[in-house]
C-alpha cells in the first residue's frame, strides 16, 4: 500500500498554533487529490492545545474559561475521534490520494491506508527501541467517561498502537473527495492528565509515553528521522523511489491561509 502512490514527500514542520496546523493538514489533503502525491508530515504545536474530534460534543462539557486559565488553546480537527492534549508529543499526518498512478494497481481503500500507516509507525517506533505492537481488540485503558468527555487515549481500538497494556499513539482519519487525511499523536510525556482539569474532573488513567518505554528523553527530530527512514525503506522494498522533501507551493499556501479562518473560528470549534 505504501508503494501505491506516484510519489511520497516528507517534511518536519516548525511548531505552529492549532488553527494553522489543522489548516495545513486540510490543504495537504486537497493537494493529494490534485497531484496524486502522498505527504508524510511531522509537526508540533507552539502552544499546548486541546484538539477535539470533528463530531465530538464539547459545548457544556468542556469549560472554555478553565482551558484559557491554564494557557491551553482549543481547536476542532477535520478528522473524527476524541480529545487529545497536544504538548509534549509528536504529531504526524499523512495525506494520500485515493487513486494510483497505474491501472494495474488496486485503488487504495481508507481502511488499508490506515493499516499501512499504523504498520509504518510501529516499524519506526521499534527502530527507536520502543516495544510497541498493534492492539488486537478494543481495550479500555482507564475508567469510562461519559459521552463526549471520553478522551482519545482512554481506549485503544483494534489496530492502534500500544506499549504493553497502554495506548501510545492515537490516530484519526477523514476522507474528502479523492483523498484521505490521517493524523495522530505520538506521546513523549503524559500530558493527557490535564484533560481532567478541563472537563469536570473526568478521571484519566496513565498512558504509554516514549520517555517511559525508552527510559530517556526523546526529541521530535529523532522521531521524525525514524519515520522518514522507515518510509524510505518501505518504498525501496516496494520498488519505488525514496521520498522527496516537501516544499510549500503557492496553491497549498493559499489554501492554508483560506482554511485557517475555519479552524480559528469559535463557531467551528464549539459547534457541538
pLDDT band with cut points at 50, 70 and 90 for residue 7: very high
Residues in the chain: 272
> Would 224 be classed as within a structural domain?
yes
Average of per-residue pLDDT across 139-148: 45
> Would 43 be classed as within a structural domain?
yes
> Would 184 be classed as within a structural domain?
yes
Whichever domain contains 156, its CATH number is 3.30.930.10
Average of per-residue pLDDT across 177-197: 92
> Would 198 be classed as within a structural domain?
yes
> Would 164 be classed as within a structural domain?
yes
Which residue is associated with the grid cell 522518514? 228
The C-alpha cell of 48 is what?
499546548
pLDDT beyond 60 at 179: yes
Q: Which helix (H) or strand (E) holds 226?
A: helix 220-237
Cα 270 to Cα 272: distance, rounded to the nearest angstrom: 5
How many of the other CB atoms lie within 10 Å of CB of 166? 20
> Would 17 be classed as within a structural domain?
yes
Cβ neighbours of residue 31 under 8 Å, at least 6 residues apart? 37, 39, 95, 249, 251, 252, 255
> Which residues constitute the domain of residue 219?
2-267
Question: Of 7, 22, 159, 185, which Cα lies nearest the Cα of 96?
Answer: 7
pLDDT single digits (tens) 56-110? 999 988 888 889 999 999 999 999 998 999 999 999 999 999 976 655 566 778 9
> Would 272 be classed as within a structural domain?
no
160-164, 198-202, 262-266: segment of lowest average pLDDT:
198-202
> Would 222 be classed as within a structural domain?
yes
Count how many domains the chain has: 1
What is the set of active-site residues?
152
pLDDT single digits (tens) 17-48? 999 999 999 999 999 999 999 999 999 999 99
The pTM of the full predicted model, rounded to 2 decimals, is 0.91
pLDDT single digits (tens) 144-175? 344 455 567 766 777 789 998 899 999 999 99
Percent of the chain with pLDDT over 90: 72
pLDDT band with cut points at 50, 70 and 90 for residue 143: very low
Amino acid at each position: 500500500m505504501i508503494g501505491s502512490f506516484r510519489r511520497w514527500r516528507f517534511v518536519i514542520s516548525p511548531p505552529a498554533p492549532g488553527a494553522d496546523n489543522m489548516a495545513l493538514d486540510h490543504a495537504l489533503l486537497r493537494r493529494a487529490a490534485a497531484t496524486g502525491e502522498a505527504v508524510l508530515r511531522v509537526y508540533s504545536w507552539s502552544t499546548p492545545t486541546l484538539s477535539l474530534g470533528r463530531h465530538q460534543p464539547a459545548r457544556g462539557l468542556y469549560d472554555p474559561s478553565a482551558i484559557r486559565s491554564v494557557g491551553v488553546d482549543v481547536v476542532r480537527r477535520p478528522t473524527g475521534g476524541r480529545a487529545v492534549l497536544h504538548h509534549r508529543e509528536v504529531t504526524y499526518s499523512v495525506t494520500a490520494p485515493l487513486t494510483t498512478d497505474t491501472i494495474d494497481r488496486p485503488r487504495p481503500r481508507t481502511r488499508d491506508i490506515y493499516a499501512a500507516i499504523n504498520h509504518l509507525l510501529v516499524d519506526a517506533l521499534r527502530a527507536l527501541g520502543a516495544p510497541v505492537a498493534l492492539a488486537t481488540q478494543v481495550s479500555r485503558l482507564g475508567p469510562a467517561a461519559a459521552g463526549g468527555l471520553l478522551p482519545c487515549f482512554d481506549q485503544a481500538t483494534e489496530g492502534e498502537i500500544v506499549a504493553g497494556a497502554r495506548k501510545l499513539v492515537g490516530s484519526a482519519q477523514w476522507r474528502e473527495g479523492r483523498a484521505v487525511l490521517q493524523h495522530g499523536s505520538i506521546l513523549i510525556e503524559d500530558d493527557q492528565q490535564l484533560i481532567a482539569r478541563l472537563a469536570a474532573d473526568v478521571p484519566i488513567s496513565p498512558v504509554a509515553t516514549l520517555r517511559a518505554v525508552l527510559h530517556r528523553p526523546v526529541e521530535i527530530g529523532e522521531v521524525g528521522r525514524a519515520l522518514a527512514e522507515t518510509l524510505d525503506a518501505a518504498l525501496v522494498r516496494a520498488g519505488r523511489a525514496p521520498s522527496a522533501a516537501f516544499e510549500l507551493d503557492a496553491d497549498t499556501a493559499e489554501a492554508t491561509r483560506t482554511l485557517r479562518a475555519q479552524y480559528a473560528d469559535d463557531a467551528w470549534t464549539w459547534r457541538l
